[in-house]
């Protein structure tokens, strides 16, 4: 793999993290769920021991949420490319909700290249506070 190919994978996966946050804040649940593989796994930072498995289940979990205004801020993104079709990443996250206390945490992600582009195979969240 060339340096340019590695950098392109890193950029694609970092973009997926940012896109996830933006779509989440816009309550575009179908688009958020589409960022996962069909058998993707998600754990919310507020429920790290309760995995939600499968794109359909992830969509249903988002749709079941009560409406709220949020702003996710992601930073400290580090992507480790494993090969041409898989990568891992970590990122820091701060969640602001209207009238709520900010939450700080992180995500540990596993990315895979699919026919539709890079997708989350796993997105595991946890809270620092």
What's the predicted TM-score (pTM) here?
0.95
- What is the reported pLDDT for 116? 96
| C-beta separation of 96 from 71 below 8 A | yes
Q: What confidence tens digit (pLDDT) does each residue in 80-93 have?
A: 999 999 999 999 99
- What is the reported pLDDT for 25? 97
Residue 52 gets which letter from DSSP?
A: E
Rounded distance, CA 77 to CA 70, Å?
A: 20
- What is the reported pLDDT for 63? 97
Q: List phi, psi (to 5°) of 55.
A: -55, -40
Domains of the chain: 3-127 (3.10.450.50)
Q: Quick one: which of 16, 50, 43, 62 has its CA closest to 126?
A: 43
Helices (H), the chain: 3-25, 29-33, 55-63
Report residues of the chain scoring pLDDT below 50. Answer: none
């Amino acid at each position: 793999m060339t340096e340019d190919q590695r950098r392109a994978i890193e950029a694609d996966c970092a973009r997926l993290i940012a896109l996830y946050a933006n779509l989440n804040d816009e309550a575009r649940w179908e688009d958020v769920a589409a960022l996962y593989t069909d058998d993707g796994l998600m754990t919310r930072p507020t429920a790290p021991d309760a995995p939600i498995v499968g794109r359909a289940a992830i969509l249903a979990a988002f749709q079941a949420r009560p409406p709220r205004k949020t702003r996710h801020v992601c930073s400290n993104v580090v992507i480790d490319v494993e090969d041409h079709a898989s990568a891992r990443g970590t990122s820091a996250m701060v969640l602001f909700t209207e009238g709520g206390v900010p939450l700080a945490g992180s995500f540990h992600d596993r990315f895979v290249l699919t026919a539709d582009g890079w997708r989350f195979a796993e997105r595991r969240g946890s809270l620092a506070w």
